[in-house]
Amino acid sequence: MGLGFIGLGTMGAPMALNLLKAGFKLKVYDVDPERVGKIVMRGAEPASSPREVASTSEFILLCLPSETISEEVTIGGGGVVQSAPAGSVIIELSTVPPSTIRKIASVAEPLGVDVLDAPVSGGRSGAETATLTIMVGGRRDVFNRSIPILKAIGREIYYVGSLGSGEAVKLLNNMKVLIDLVASRYALEIGSKAGVDLKLLHEIIEKSTGQSWVWTNWIPRFLQDQTVGATINIFNKDMTHAIEMAEELNIHPEVAVAALRELRQYLERGMGGCDVSMMFNFT
């Protein structure tokens, strides 16, 4: 089974390596030749363009930083859809709006190319250890064909429903994470100014009803001035799309809007490329 992988960044590179470890033949492309070289050294075949990846692959996996790039690579000048053989499957691992996936599919499906949206959650560590949670939207039969590939990069694989539903779930997950991040930041800042030892505060809340995934997994790293591999830009993108999705459904998530407003203070200071740990530099 020939696989293609486009986008070898923080998440894409370890996922590509796990596919190689699982025994898949892999052709890879990234705009950064150095990234390609590192994966080729582990057994992948290099491609000179997204078009070349698609033309020889039964499954084409994408892990790209934005919906604009995903559209360009698939239905724009990148030529993935136009080059992919009939019967092949595009698996979009990137977090993009559901409307983007449906737009890509509207071009791909008449050419006999199937599309799945399969965004992932679990961060860089989950990608490295193949323990990602993957939420998948698209046709059930196409999902079933793709299960062996998804199991090579993730541990919890969910079929959510129709095309775009996986992206919807991922955006809602990230909306909740950012709200929790902002709440956790204020809990720590207020605790600090109230004279509470922050490690003790963390321990107590960890064993109380305020415990959460962010509190358990990220706050200890922030307290040690460590990063988590998630940037302010990425959260801004995902939260913006989540709020837009809600507004389209005539729901006005004011708490999410407030959390995004907090995040954008860092964007205004030119910190978009920084890790979200930057939000916790309040001492």
Provide the annotated active-site residues. Answer: 170
Q: How far apart (Å, rounded) are the C-alpha atoms in residues 163 and 160?
A: 9
Is-contact 209 187, C-beta < 8 A? no
Running DSSP on this structure, what letter comes out for residue 239? H
Tokens read off for 241: 């799309």
- Residue 133 has φ and ψ, to the nearest 5°, of -95, 130
Q: How far lies 201's CA from each of 91, 192, 224, in Å?
A: 42, 9, 14
How many C-beta neighbours within 10 Å does residue 50 have? 27
Q: Do 47 and 26 touch, CB atoms closer than 8 A?
A: no
Helices of type H across 194-218: 198-206, 213-217
Structure tokens at 264: 């954008």
> Rounded to 5 degrees, what angle do the CA atoms 118, 121, 124 make?
115
Helix (H) or strand (E) holding 166: helix 165-193
What 3 state SS string does 1-47 have? CEEEEECCCCCHHHHHHHHHHCCCEEEEECCCHHHHHHHHCCCCEEC
* H and E: helices and strands count for the chain: 14, 9
In sequence order, which residues have a C-beta less than 8 Å from that of residue 248 and are 6 or more positions away? none
